[in-house]
Amino acid sequence: MIVIDASVAAKSYLNEAGTDAAIALMTGHEQLIAPQLIQVEVIAAICGNVRKGALTEQEAEDRCNRWLRHLADDVMLLHPDRMVLDNAAGLALTYKHPVQDCVYLAVANHFKVPMITADGRFLKKVASAYSNISLLSGCSAN
């Protein structure tokens, strides 16, 4: 079992560094787990690419629909956010990092499993205390 965050899942719907590795994870045999928050964050990432001019509205709508179909097909186990919010808040305060990212790490802590992120900034903040977090292949640690 591996926790992936929205930065990883979104890459499988976008054409950017790490996309191939994200697709391999999303279609592989490893059981994936994430907080329920991932449902909204992946859609937000896809739609944000319209504002940046990287996708048309139609492309974004198609990719959001594909994400929703994958969720309906149980591509990953979704863990209730509320069950880890106390730990996530503590992590956010300790590392002075947005609580949304810390919810994913709290899920990894809860299940005592590895986590993969495409967010190099987050990884740098927590890696010294959490050796079970790694950067998605093809992504920059900046």
Residue 141 domain flag:
no
Comparing CA positions, the residue from 10, 36, 33 lying closest to residue 108 is 33
- Range of the structural domain that residue 53 is part of: 2-135
User: Are the C-beta atoms of residues 116 and 134 closer than 8 Å to each other?
Assistant: yes
Q: What is the CATH number of the domain that holds 21?
A: 3.40.50.1010
| Residue 134 pLDDT | 96
User: What pLDDT is attached to residue 92?
Assistant: 97
Domain count, the chain: 1
Residue 6 in any domain: the answer is: yes
In a domain, 140, yes or no: no
pTM of the model: 0.94
Residue 80 lies in a domain: yes
CA angle 56, 61, 78 (to 5 degrees): 135
Within a domain: 39 = yes
pLDDT tens-place values along the chain, 142 residues long: 999 999 999 999 998 999 999 999 999 999 999 999 999 999 999 999 999 999 999 999 999 999 999 999 998 999 999 999 999 999 999 999 999 999 999 999 999 999 999 999 999 999 988 999 999 998 877 6
Q: Supply the DSSP symbol for 134.
A: E
Give domain status of residue 142, yes or no: no
